[in-house]
Amino acid sequence: MKSVFLSAAVVGAMLAAPAVVTPAAAQPGWNPNAFWRGAPGGTWERIQFLQNRISRGISDGSLNRGEGARAQAQLNNIRRQAWQMRRRDGGQLNARDNAWLQRELDNLSRRLRWARHNGW
């Protein structure tokens, strides 16, 4: 009789385990595109959004001086490249340049999030 109860408990645990360890991507309501929660979509607005995140991280202590300086230097580089691309193309960013800038901003945002939570 004990083995029947033990078997039932093992089967029950095996059936319940996948519900507990289901990855976030498989859970209903999870949106993989929600990375930029509350952030604007335009390139220049995203640059300003990241500038605010860096400033906030430095002021609240979640970024130390070195991490803040590194993030600021990377953002300044992206900003400078955006201005150069825009100047080269007559005041507008072409689609390829805009996609490249958006990728760079995504990468910086991920590094910034990592630094704020784990250290750079």
Domain count, the chain: 1
Instruction: Note the pLDDT of residue 5.
Output: 54
Q: Does 106 fall in a domain?
A: yes
Instruction: Note the pLDDT of residue 33.
Output: 57
Q: Rounded to 10 degrees, what is the CA torsion of 18, 22, 27, 30?
A: 180
Helix then strand then coil, in percent of the chain rounded to 5, is 75, 0, 25
Instruction: Note the pLDDT of residue 44.
Output: 92
Instruction: Note the pLDDT of residue 18.
Output: 47
The Cα 67–Cα 120 span in angstroms is 6
Q: Does 26 fall in a domain?
A: no
Phi, then psi, of 93 in degrees rounded to 5: -90, 130
Domain residues for the domain of 49 are: 42-118
Q: Does 22 fall in a domain?
A: no
Instruction: Note the pLDDT of residue 117.
Output: 79
Its pTM stands at 0.67
Counting as low any pLDDT under 70, the low residues of the chain are: 1-37, 119-120
Q: Does 1 fall in a domain?
A: no
Instruction: Note the pLDDT of residue 32.
Output: 55
Instruction: Note the pLDDT of residue 40.
Output: 78
Q: Does 32 fall in a domain?
A: no
Which residue in this structure is represented by tokens 């089967």?
11
Which residue in this structure is represented by tokens 């029947």?
4
